[in-house]
Chain A
Amino acid sequence: NAGVTQTPKFQVLKTGQSMTLQCAQDMNHNSMYWYRQDPGMGLRLIYYSASEGTTDKGEVPNGYNVSRLNKREFSLRLESAAPSQTSVYFCASSPLGTQYYGYTFGSGTRLTIV
C-alpha cells in the first residue's frame, strides 16, 4: 500500500545543473500536484495535472517544467537549478472531483542547490 512515492529523497545540485524529481501513485487518482515547502511561506503549488494529458501552472511555476507521463506518474524538472529553488518538494494526488476528496502526499524530496 505505497500511496504516493517520490524519488529521490535527498539531492544536492550545483547551480545551473538540471534534474528531474519523480512521483508515482498507485491509487488510481486522476489529479496530481507538485508543491514546494519553505519556512515561513507554507506550501505553494508549482504545477498540477487535473487529469492525464493535462498540466497547468500553479502559484510559483517559474524555473520548472512538468510531465504527466501516464496516469500514475508526474515528474518535475528543474532545467537550470538556482539557489532559490532550495526547498522541500512534495508530490500529492487526489481523485477526480476533488470537491469531495482531499490530498494524499508523498514523503518529499529535500533539494539543496549550492
Chain B
Amino acid sequence: KQEVTQIPAALSVPEGENLVLNCSFTDSAIYNLQWFRQDPGKGLTSLLLIQSSQREQTSGRLNASLDKSSGRSTLYIAASQPGDSATYLCAVKTNAGKSTFGDGTTLTVKP
C-alpha cells in the first residue's frame, strides 16, 4: 500500500526566504505526482503535476522535482510572500490508478 509522508507538518519562515517542502512515498511505481495548495476553509488548487517520466516542473516562483528511485518530491518556493501562506499537499498516483494524499505541510510566511 502506498504511503505518503510530508515533513514537516508546519513551517514558519520570514518573507523573502526561499523554502523547500518535502513529499516522500513508499511505492516508486507511480504515474504522476501532483502538488496542491489549500487555503483555510477552501478546496484544493492544483499547482504542479509531474509525470513519472519527468524530473521537474516549474510555474512562476514554484519548482517541483521528482526522484522516483528515492521516493521523494520537493516543492521549492522562491522569494516567499505572505500570500503563500497555506497548506501544501502532495498526491501520488500509482500504476493501479489510485491516488494517495499526504497530510500536508502548513506554511506561514511572516511579513
Which residues does A use to contact B, with CB under 8 Å?
40-43, 45, 50, 58, 90, 92, 98-108, 110
User: What's the Cα separation between A99 and B32 when bound, in Å?
Assistant: 7
State the main secondary structure of chain A at its contact with B.
loop
5 nearest A-B pairs in the assembled complex, by CB-CB distance: A43-B101, A107-B43, A102-B34, A105-B44, A102-B49
User: What's the Cα separation between A101 and B52 when bound, in Å?
Assistant: 11
Known: A42-B101, A42-B103, A42-B104. A99 touches B43 (CB 8 A): no
Between-chain CB contacts (< 8 Å), 13 pairs: A42-B102, A43-B89, A45-B98, A45-B99, A90-B43, A98-B97, A99-B51, A103-B44, A105-B36, A105-B43, A105-B46, A108-B42, A110-B41
Q: Which of B46-73 contact A (CB under 8 A)?
A: 46, 49, 51
A59 shortest CB reach to chain B, Å: 8
B73 shortest CB reach to chain A, Å: 13
Residues from chain A with a CB closer than 8 A to the CB of B51 are 99-100
Q: Which of B12-56 contact A (CB under 8 A)?
A: 31-32, 34, 36, 41-46, 49, 51
Q: What string of 1s and 0s marks CB contacts (under 8 Å) between B92-111 and chain A?
A: 01000111011110000000
Is there an interface contact between B46 and A90, defined as CB atoms closer than 8 Å? no
Is there an interface contact between B101 and A107, defined as CB atoms closer than 8 Å? no
Residues from chain A with a CB closer than 8 A to the CB of B75 are none
Asked whether any CB of chain A lies closer than 8 Å to the CB of B77, the reply is: no
User: What's the Cα separation between A92 and B89 when bound, in Å?
Assistant: 15
The answer, among B36, B43, B99, for a CB contact under 8 Å with A108, is B43
A68 shortest CB reach to chain B, Å: 17
Is there an interface contact between A103 and B99, defined as CB atoms closer than 8 Å? yes
Residues from chain A with a CB closer than 8 A to the CB of B98 are 45, 58
User: What's the Cα separation between A58 and B44 when bound, in Å?
Assistant: 19
Residues from chain B with a CB closer than 8 A to the CB of A104 are 46
